[in-house]
């Protein structure tokens, strides 16, 4: 559910739709909705991003680079972290409440007359609101992140993006996307459009590479996979990385080596479309360095060290494990909560070698695994865990008092991150 806010009618309207809507076999439903709204998406230029992990970070990097180059930049991401409005931005600023109300009323006027009214999902409604807002504000470029998959994602209604980007592909949402890497990659590669260039992030499994390449060939689309051999890693820690790629120096201020791979995809993508956009090299450097993302190896406190991370699947927690591996501070204690629809056992196995003890929590989502069951799963997987006697933020505060010279972590779900950040904001 979207945040519980009594005084905002537009959120009540969005909340009147189910989380996932009626399952779709094609994009006819969202196409019909947008057609009735005048197809606002057709007036916009897009960079379209899919992937199991990394798409949020890459979206933020693209957005910052475009802004640094002076382009009016729309950004559409999911899920929201602190407020519903933070998933729709222009030049880094959340959609204002009056604009949200205006766009929601326009969508409501159409859906109220629509035969599929009860079948729409919250995400489809949000996508329509975002397209209307970006079009009305005459954005120069929109960075568009898929919600789930790609082929049947409502964002895939766009016709000719200037660039498509596919990040790390791994097992997640297998009940919807498929139970093999090939099936999942096929869904992600569904965003590839005829004659539109595509970047696939380095480090993907060969099964993923083959599947994406097949779709690129079918669409006569140029496919670029950044060459890891052209990367020189200078430094990398929890606070960021410095590296050289194709002879140019860059800095990332988001922690972890996986962010270097994300940055390589962004750099490669911008070079592919730079004949049109004309972005100077110094603006690429500036934007990559400036990019920050809430809930992704987010440093809440440096001394003592407290990290907030929303990775929630094996690949994402493997990236977080890589961050911890390069962190010299010890011991490491983690407050963890996960949703029960995730591959919890395989995910926690990635962190167990680096975490001395887990304290499990729940209550941050209606899909949260119970704290007691999560503790049992971690213990059975070989880790040390106990149910936290306190809420996540309060437990984390206790840990940093007890472990001021080590690593303290809150992790396992973006919903948990949202709860923590909202509590911090309220304080």
Distance of CA 103 to the CA centre of its chain: 24
* pTM to 2 decimal places: 0.89
- Mean pLDDT across the chain: 92
So what's the pLDDT on residue 401? Answer: 94
Same fold, 9-290 and 298-426: no
Could you please report the per-residue DSSP string of 2-36? Answer: ----TT-HHHHHHHTSBSS-S--SSSHHHHHHHHH
- C-beta neighbour count of 316 within 10 angstroms: 26
Could you please report the per-residue DSSP string of 249-278? Answer: EEEE-S-STHHHHHHHHHHHHHHHTHHHH-
Kindly tell me the sign of the dihedral angle through the C-alpha atoms of 25, 30, 36, 39.
negative
CATH 3.90.190.20 for domain 298-426: yes
Is the pLDDT at 6 greater than 70, yes or no? no
Domain ranges within the chain, ordered by starting residue: 9-290, 298-426
- C-beta neighbour count of 302 within 10 angstroms: 9
Is the pLDDT at 1 greater than 80, yes or no? no
Phi, psi of 234 (to 5 degrees): -90, -45
So what's the pLDDT on residue 237? Answer: 87
Asked if 371 contacts 361 with a C-beta cutoff of 8 angstroms, the reply is yes
Is the pLDDT at 138 greater than 80, yes or no? yes
Is the pLDDT at 427 greater than 60, yes or no? yes
So what's the pLDDT on residue 170? Answer: 86
Mean pLDDT over 418-422 rounds to 91
Tell me the helices (H) and strands (E) count for the chain, helix number first. Answer: 16, 17
Is the pLDDT at 8 greater than 70, yes or no? no
Q: Which is higher by pLDDT, 314 or 133?
A: 133
Is the pLDDT at 3 greater than 70, yes or no? no
| pLDDT above 70 coverage of the chain, percent | 97
Rounded CA-CA distance 169/16 in Å is: 32
Is the pLDDT at 204 greater than 80, yes or no? yes
CATH of 9-290, one of 3.40.1190.10, 3.30.70.141, 3.90.1650.10, 2.40.50.100: 3.40.1190.10
CA distances from 172 to 311, 341, 343 (A): 12, 9, 8
Question: For 293-340, how does the pLDDT look when each residue is reduced to its tens digit (9 = 90+)?
Answer: 888 899 999 999 999 998 878 878 888 998 898 887 789 999 999 999
């Amino acid at each position: 559910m979207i945040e519980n806010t009594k005084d905002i009618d537009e959120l009540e309207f969005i909340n009147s739709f189910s989380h996932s809507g009626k399952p779709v076999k094609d994009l006819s439903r969202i196409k019909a909705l947008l057609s009735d709204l005048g197809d606002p998406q057709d007036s916009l230029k897009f960079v379209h991003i899919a992937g199991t992990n990394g798409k949020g970070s890459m979206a933020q990097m693209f957005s910052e680079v475009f802004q640094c180059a002076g382009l009016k930049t729309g950004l559409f991401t999911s899920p929201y972290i602190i407020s519903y409005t933070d998933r729709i931005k222009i030049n880094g600023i959340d959609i204002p409440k009056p604009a949200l109300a205006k766009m929601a009323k326009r969508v409501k006027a159409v859906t109220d007359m629509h035969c599929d009214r009860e079948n729409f999902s919250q995400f489809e409604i949000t996508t329509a609101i975002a397209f209307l807002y970006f079009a009305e504000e005459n954005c120069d470029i929109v960075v568009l992140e898929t919600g789930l998959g790609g082929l049947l994602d409502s964002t895939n209604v766009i016709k000719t993006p200037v660039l498509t980007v596919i990040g790390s592909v791994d097992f997640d949402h297998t009940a919807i996307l498929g139970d093999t890497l090939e099936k999942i990659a096929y869904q992600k590669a569904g965003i590839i459009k005829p004659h539109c260039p595509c970047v696939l992030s380095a480090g993907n499994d060969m099964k993923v590479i083959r599947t994406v390449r097949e779709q690129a060939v079918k669409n006569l689309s140029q496919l670029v996979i950044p060459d890891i051999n052209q990367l020189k890693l200078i430094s990398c820690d929890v606070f960021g990385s410095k590296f050289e790629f194709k002879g140019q120096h860059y800095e990332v201020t988001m922690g972890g080596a996986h962010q270097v791979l994300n940055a390589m995809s962004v750099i490669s993508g911008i070079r592919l479309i730079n004949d049109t956009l004309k972005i100077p090299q110094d603006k690429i450097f500036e934007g990559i360095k400036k990019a920050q993302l809430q809930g992704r190896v987010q440093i809440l406190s440096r001394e003592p060290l407290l990290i907030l991370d929303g990775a929630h699947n094996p690949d994402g927690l493997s990236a977080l494990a890589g961050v911890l591996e390069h962190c010299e501070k010890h011991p490491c204690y983690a407050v963890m909560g996960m949703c029960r629809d995730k591959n919890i056992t395989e995910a926690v196995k990635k962190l167990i070698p680096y975490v001395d003890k887990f304290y499990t929590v729940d209550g941050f989502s209606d899909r949260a695994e119970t704290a007691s069951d999560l503790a049992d799963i971690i213990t059975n997987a070989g880790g040390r865990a106990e149910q936290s006697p306190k809420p996540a933020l309060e437990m984390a505060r206790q840990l940093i008092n007890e472990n001021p010279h080590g690593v303290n972590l809150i992790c396992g779900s973006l919903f948990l991150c949202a709860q923590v950040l909202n509590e911090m904001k309220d304080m």
